[in-house]
């Protein structure tokens, strides 16, 4: 099936651990609890989008150790993995997230093959046939030429560097990337860094380079900036907030599902809010994935309050 959406980003194993207190150098401590979750922005967005019925392809680089159950998990939900390249000599990207009893957190990030993706060839096979291309985490050396190619292919392109905007991208690379995109996704902190890179205080000024900005603001919902105006779309209340990780990725998946089912910009953002609300209710980024019908039900009250 032709993909509607092609997502570029990480496929990552999240190892979540808790301990009493962080060890001093040259000492050891017992891990009290340890869980492995499937993660990575690329895998999260693609898996949730495919689960909502959107024909979705994923492009990423992994090691030969990618667990077969992770691959199956994505495939069973319909993600086209033909653009996921196995690179010998690396292990799959891994994040070790460690929390102590005071709720302090430290993270250890192993990029795996994604660190060197600048020297790997780009794969545009799925992107060519897609309506939307979504560029999430990964290296500018790989993504800038890819974004130029998507531009040449006249693809509708979203740029979403996520937390990597702060340390993987910089003023120069960000300024080159933004005008290549049609849409920029960011959370509160990411917007602040984007404004800093562009040397302005006003999101509206970024609209000189990109036609739409979708700025998520946690429980406060999201702001949508376009040349036609700025709108606030409320969040959808989850029954309870158990774990915020993956909310942003689920939001994006819900947005594309809205587009896939023929809805407008603000409606699609509302579907994003509704999708995120489910993922907040369980630990992990791809647990508690709703069906499209469940998303439609939860989005209903927000849709009825949207402007015009």
List residues near ligand ATP by CB under 6 A: 187, 216-219, 221-222, 235, 238, 241, 244-249, 251, 273, 276-277, 280
> Contacts for 186-191 with beta carbons within 8 Å, 24 or more apart?
186/160, 186/213, 186/214, 186/215, 186/216, 187/162, 187/215, 187/216, 187/217, 187/218, 187/248, 188/215, 188/216, 188/217, 188/218, 190/161, 190/162, 190/163, 190/165, 190/166, 191/215
Instruction: State the minimum distance, in angstroms, from the CB of residue 165 to Mg ion.
Output: 10
Residue 41 interaction partner, one of Mg ion, ligand ATP, none, beta carbon < 5-8 Å per kind: none
59 belongs to the binding site for Mg ion (CB under 5 A) = no
Rank residues 130 and 215 by Cβ distance to ligand ATP and give the closer one.
215
Binding letters toward Mg ion, positions 138-177, x by CB under 5 A: ------------------------x---------------
Q: Cα(174)–Cα(32) distance, rounded to whole angstroms?
A: 41
CB nearer ligand ATP, residue 64 or residue 301: 301
The 8-class DSSP code of residue 125 comes to H
Closest distance of CB 304 from Mg ion, Å: 28
Out of Mg ion, ligand ATP, none, what residue 245 binds, judged by CB under 5 to 8 A for its kind, is ligand ATP
DSSP string, 147-191: HHHHHHTT-EEEE--GGGGTTTS-HHHHHHHGGG-SEEEE-HHHH
Nearest approach, Cβ of residue 78 and ligand ATP (Å): 22
**Cβ(144)–Cβ(60) below 8 Å:** no
Residue 68 half-sphere exposure, CB side, CA atoms within 13 Å?
Answer: 0
One residue of 248, 254, 258, 272 binding Mg ion per CB under 5 A: 248
Q: For residues 59 and 280, which CB has a smaller minimum distance to ligand ATP in the complex?
A: 280
Q: Binding partner of residue 235 among ligand ATP, Mg ion, none, CB under 5 to 8 Å per kind? A: ligand ATP
Q: Which residues bind Mg ion (CB under 5 A)?
A: 162, 248
């Amino acid at each position: 099936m032709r993909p509607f959406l092609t997502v570029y980003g990480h496929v990552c194993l999240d190892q979540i651990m808790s301990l009493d207190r962080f060890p001093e150098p040259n000492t050891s401590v017992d891990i009290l609890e340890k869980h492995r979750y499937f993660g990575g922005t690329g895998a999260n967005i693609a898996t949730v989008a495919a689960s909502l019925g959107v024909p979705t392809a994923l492009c990423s680089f992994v090691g030969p150790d990618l667990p077969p159950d992770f691959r199956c998990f994505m495939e069973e939900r319909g993600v086209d993995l033909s653009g996921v390249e196995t690179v010998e000599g690396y292990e799959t990207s891994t994040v070790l997230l460690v929390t102590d009893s005071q709720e302090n957190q430290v993270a250890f990030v192993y990029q795996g093959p994604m660190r060197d993706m600048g020297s790997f060839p780009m794969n545009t096979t799925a992107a060519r046939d897609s309506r939307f291309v979504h560029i999430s985490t990964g290296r500018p050396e790989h993504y800038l030429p890819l974004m130029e190619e998507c531009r040449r292919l006249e693809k509708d392109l979203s740029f979403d560097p996520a937390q990597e905007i702060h340390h993987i991208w910089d003023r120069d690379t960000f300024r080159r990337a933004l005008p290549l995109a049609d849409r920029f996704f960011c959370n509160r902190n990411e917007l602040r860094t984007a404004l800093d890179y562009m040397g302005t205080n006003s999101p509206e000024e970024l609209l000189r380079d990109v036609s739409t900005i979708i700025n998520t603001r946690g429980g406060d919902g999201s702001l949508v900036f376009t040349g036609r105006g700025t709108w606030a779309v409320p969040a959808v209340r989850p029954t309870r907030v158990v774990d915020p990780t993956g909310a942003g990725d689920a939001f994006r998946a819900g947005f594309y599902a809205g587009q896939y089912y023929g809805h407008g910009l603000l409606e699609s953002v509302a579907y994003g809010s509704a999708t995120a609300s489910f993922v907040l209710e369980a630990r992990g980024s791809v647990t508690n994935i709703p069906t499209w019908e469940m998303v439609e039900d939860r989005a209903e009250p927000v849709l009825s309050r949207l402007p015009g």
